[in-house]
Structure 1
Amino acid sequence: MEEHNSYDLVILGGGAAAFAAITEASGRGLSTAMVNTGLPIGGTCVNVGCVPSKHLLAVGESAAAPQENPFEAVRYSDDEPTVDWAKALDGTDALVERFRQENYVDVAEHFETDIYEGYGQLIDDTTIEIVDGPDERTQITGKKTLVATGSSPWAPPIDGLDDVDYYTSETILEERNLPENIVIIGGGYIALEWGQILHRVGVDITILQRSERVLSAMEGQLGREIQRAFEDEGIDVVTGNDFQRVRTPAADGGTEAVQSGVAVETDDDGTKRTVTGDALFVATGVQPNSGGIGLETVGVETNDDGTVHVDEHFQTTNPDVYAAGDVIGEPELETVAAKEGNHGVKNAFGDEGVSIDYDAVPAVVFTSPEVAAVGTTELEYMDEHGTCSCRTIQMEDVPRAKAVKNTDGLVQVVKHHETDEIVGVHMVGPRAADMIMEATLAVKFGLTVDDIIDTVHPFPTFSEAFKQACQAFRRDTSKMSCCIE
């Protein structure tokens, strides 16, 4: 029997963008409903992204702590740390379940949002029909619709890849018995975070990146610095790979009838290389979940890469349909998705015309050392202005870093060559994920390097690294005392 219900706002998706949308809608007295499919309620971040990966990074950091002890006064036995991976995943599952209940299920109940489970499709301008799943044959209609279906791991078109089994950032969370070594294809934040997690719990890791450096979309110094840190830790990082084929290595009898691990064949400027491992992990990015949800039926256009086409106010080519989150493309970040979902509701029901300044959105890689960046890179500034006013300081020159013997990393500041306004900050180092917020405010509100210099920073802290990079525009920072103003 078909069921049909009406609301002010109906949402296709159940992640960060969807929940930000119902929060804003509730404040406006609007009735809301969402259709959740695929991942459990909460979407990528809570289920298979931010929450589990950061938990497991902390597990790996604890496992690595004895080997990385820099103090002669502290001694450990020669025994290697033992990590019970299955127990670590049990802890992750418990954490995810608590987050999902407290931050999503309870929140939806608080805002009186009806949640329908199943695969939803747009069948009319603002009507969603659930065509498969627990609430199959139910239709919900709204005055406006928000598409917030997120994204899924993407695998590149490498010959033979479809014929071998491989992990993704989602499926690795289901593997209780890890192999001895894993080959990771990719060099972005997913590859680096998972590479370090798995290395620190005892897996030999080789990272294969197509471009000449990891984190290729970020400031060049960041990729080179984190690659050096990874290699010092014992993680093999091979860049400049032209992937030719993925296959199963031949068995002893000379055939490939018996699967035994994986072999990745690459070409680096004519140099052939074959990298073998017990298993493969593909970490080459994500693709939007835009197929099969009825977009074309309601006149919603997509871009060449499959992302939903929206204007700066998150309105699609159907004026009654808005879209937010990973499904509209980069940057694929939970906080950005939430802001987009919030703004979509404001624009749909309040005609507020709000948008996002994506240049002031920070990006973070939660490795050790951490990587963080906001704003314009040196190369981007050079391309636009033909000059660059940039300064870089090393973490080994920062008093707090020297005091605690945690000196990997650097901080680079890019400023406008005429106004001295800070337009970009890029850093590798301890606490970079926390330090980047001061830099983000500087970029967002057009602060100058002198504004940062004139602000008293607590001593000794890692945050002084940003101030010191700004001071480098005004003086020789190698010739000053610890807390010179």
Structure 2
Amino acid sequence: MGEPTEYDLVILGGGAASFAAITEASDRGLSTALVNTGLPLGGTCVNVGCVPSKHLLALGESAFAPQDNPFDAVRYSDDEPTVEWSAALDGTNALVEQFRQSNYVDVADHFETDIYEGYGELVDDTTIEVVDGADEGACITGNKALVATGSSPWAPPIDGLDDVDYYTSETILEERDLPESIVIIGGGYIALEWGQILHRVGVEVTILQRSERVLSAMEGQLGREMQRAFEEEGIEVVAGNDFQRARAPAADGGAEAIQSGVAVETTLDGTKRTVTADALFVATGVQPNSKGIGLETVGVETNDDGTIHVDEHFQTTNPDVYAAGDVIGEPELETVAAKEGNHAVKNSFGDEGVSIDYDSVPAVVFTSPEVASVGTTELEYMDKHGTCSCRTVQMEDVPRAKAVKNTDGLVQVVKHHETDEIVGVHIVGPRAADMIMEATLAVKFGLTVDDIIDTVHPFPTFSEAFKHACQAFRRDTSTMSCCVE
């Protein structure tokens, strides 16, 4: 190892947390360098996560629109829309490249951050060596170090899974010829978003979920409503699976299996079932990229699940090393990673002691209908207080939803049973991803249901559904005119 190049801050990783860190460091006049490990610069979100998936969800929605037309006055011919998947990926790749250049490469150049490409390892306290890749042999050191290596798709320990080919949210973006049918293992946001993308571009989709409902980490009504919406659209959703085995069917009954499809053996309500398809997609979550990066060498401890152990200020067990983003665990969101990276710099160089209130971080699933949630669920509140003050309104009772004939979904509000402060809001419906921000501010700043009722909302909008759910604590909303305050 040669003499290391010195900086104020050195970073292992090149995603959202890293770039929020270099932005804050630049504002403080600090010199920075990062080693980009794994995905191209920009990390998961821009390369294989948010940007490509939302682009393809919009593409799928356009393809599906004629079939989903709710207006009798509008007529379409019997011709089905045709989606050229290879062309769709070309458009996706062009968009990703645009985002990567403008939001990461140009930003790094603006802040005069040195970028080293290759696989990096911590080798001595805050020193990182590039051990493989384009800049192999380079060595950088800093007064402080930040580990922001992100996460990768995780596959569950299902018998035979290692012996069959399967897609993940990363590898599906490399597939130019889609199968006619696919079975997806998983029921979280990745499974639902990709399930709908693939279904709407012409793939027959079956989703297999281990727990009793999809989106099992969210409020129960959301998962049940999404399962109903998906099945109505033609996507088969099977919950409550006890997975036994994954295998490739044997060709012509022979003893040696040839991968010409996939079979998933599961037990459902005590009954054995085999689900077959042309291909398999594993969407069961992510695992932190914490192995093989020298954490043990520099005294950085990890938790049982492999995430890096940090305190509330993002400091690891090595006081000169901080960590942020997916590698420290949930919630694995780009915006949270950026906030963590920013705070890590503030704490490491400014001793500001800033932390994050994760209870007021919203979660969104960008399916159609969309799903959005913030704060405490009904079950969580019941477990803590032994009671719950909750109200739910259906989108079919919201004037805007009825006017545009887009009535799938609901809004539930959970309030404190004594103070009336809003502690949780859970939405399924059109534009839920945009609606959740008003609810997030309510949870973050302790607004009451009356604060929302007393705020004039534009009519007719989907956002009125949140107000209606708050009004349901005060009146019978079934006998309410459109604009009652």
Normalising by the smaller structure, the TM-score range is over 0.9
- Distance across 1 between alignment mates of 2:120 and 2:480: 63
AA matched with 1:247: R
Cα displacement (A) at 1:255: 2.9
Q: Is residue 73 from structure 1 mapped to residue 73 from structure 2 by the alignment?
A: yes
Please list, as runs of the form range in 1=range in 2, the aligned pairs for 1:294-313 lying within 5 A after superposition: 294-313=294-313
Cα displacement (A) at 1:10: 0.2
Q: Is residue 193 from structure 1 mapped to residue 193 from structure 2 by the alignment?
A: yes
- Distance across 2 between alignment mates of 1:160 and 1:432: 39
Asked whether the equivalents of residues 249 and 257 of structure 2 are also in contact (C-alpha less than 8 Å), the reply is: no
The more displaced of 256-265 and 107-116 is 256-265
* Secondary structure at 1:120 match in 2: strand
Specify every segment of 5 or more residues in structure 1 that has no aligned partner in the other structure, as ranges. Answer: none
Q: Is residue 23 from structure 1 mapped to residue 27 from structure 2 by the alignment?
A: no
Q: Who is 1:111 aligned against?
A: 111
Cα displacement (A) at 1:181: 0.2
AA matched with 1:9: L
- Distance across 2 between alignment mates of 1:125 and 1:252: 58
The superposition leaves residues 61-110 of structure 1 with CA deviations (integer Å, 9 ceiling, x where unpaired) of 00000000000110000111100000000000000000000000000000
Q: Is residue 480 from structure 1 mapped to residue 480 from structure 2 by the alignment?
A: yes
- Distance across 2 between alignment mates of 1:237 and 1:463: 29
Asked whether the equivalents of residues 248 and 256 of structure 1 are also in contact (C-alpha less than 8 Å), the reply is: no
Please list, as runs of the form range in 1=range in 2, the aligned pairs for 1:20-169 lying within 5 A after superposition: 20-169=20-169
Cα displacement (A) at 1:268: 1.7
The more displaced of 58-67 and 2-11 is 2-11
Please list, as runs of the form range in 1=range in 2, the aligned pairs for 1:280-429 lying within 5 A after superposition: 280-429=280-429
Asked whether the equivalents of residues 3 and 137 of structure 1 are also in contact (C-alpha less than 8 Å), the reply is: no
- Distance across 1 between alignment mates of 2:131 and 2:179: 39
Q: Is residue 468 from structure 1 mapped to residue 468 from structure 2 by the alignment?
A: yes
- Distance across 2 between alignment mates of 1:259 and 1:41: 34
Q: Who is 1:458 aligned against?
A: 458
| CA distance 1:416–1:257, change in 2 (3 Å) | closer
Q: Who is 1:262 aligned against?
A: 262
- Distance across 2 between alignment mates of 1:226 and 1:253: 39
The superposition leaves residues 391-443 of structure 1 with CA deviations (integer Å, 9 ceiling, x where unpaired) of 00000000000000000000000000000000000000000000000000000
* Secondary structure at 2:391 match in 1: strand
The superposition leaves residues 329-354 of structure 1 with CA deviations (integer Å, 9 ceiling, x where unpaired) of 00000000000000000000000000
RMSD: 0.7
The superposition leaves residues 195-242 of structure 1 with CA deviations (integer Å, 9 ceiling, x where unpaired) of 000000000000000000000000000000000000000000000000
Asked whether the equivalents of residues 121 and 292 of structure 1 are also in contact (C-alpha less than 8 Å), the reply is: yes
Q: Is residue 279 from structure 1 mapped to residue 276 from structure 2 by the alignment?
A: no
* Secondary structure at 1:468 match in 2: helix
AA matched with 2:290: S
- Distance across 1 between alignment mates of 2:206 and 2:469: 34
Q: Who is 2:8 aligned against?
A: 8
AA matched with 1:70: P
- Distance across 1 between alignment mates of 2:189 and 2:257: 35
The more displaced of 254-263 and 387-396 is 254-263
Cα displacement (A) at 1:3: 5.4
* Secondary structure at 1:66 match in 2: helix
Asked whether the equivalents of residues 25 and 31 of structure 1 are also in contact (C-alpha less than 8 Å), the reply is: yes
- Distance across 2 between alignment mates of 1:211 and 1:201: 27
Once the two structures are aligned, what percentage of the paired residues are identical? Answer: 89
Cα displacement (A) at 1:304: 0.1
* Secondary structure at 1:192 match in 2: helix
- Distance across 1 between alignment mates of 2:295 and 2:380: 35
AA matched with 1:239: A
TM-score (normalised: structure 1): 0.99
AA matched with 2:14: G
Asked whether the equivalents of residues 315 and 323 of structure 1 are also in contact (C-alpha less than 8 Å), the reply is: yes
- Distance across 2 between alignment mates of 1:333 and 1:415: 26
Asked whether the equivalents of residues 4 and 127 of structure 2 are also in contact (C-alpha less than 8 Å), the reply is: no
* Secondary structure at 1:296 match in 2: coil
- Distance across 1 between alignment mates of 2:8 and 2:223: 46
- Distance across 2 between alignment mates of 1:339 and 1:274: 44
- Distance across 2 between alignment mates of 1:5 and 1:89: 40
The superposition leaves residues 284-342 of structure 1 with CA deviations (integer Å, 9 ceiling, x where unpaired) of 00000000000000000000000000000000000000000000000000000000000
* Secondary structure at 2:252 match in 1: coil
AA matched with 1:16: A
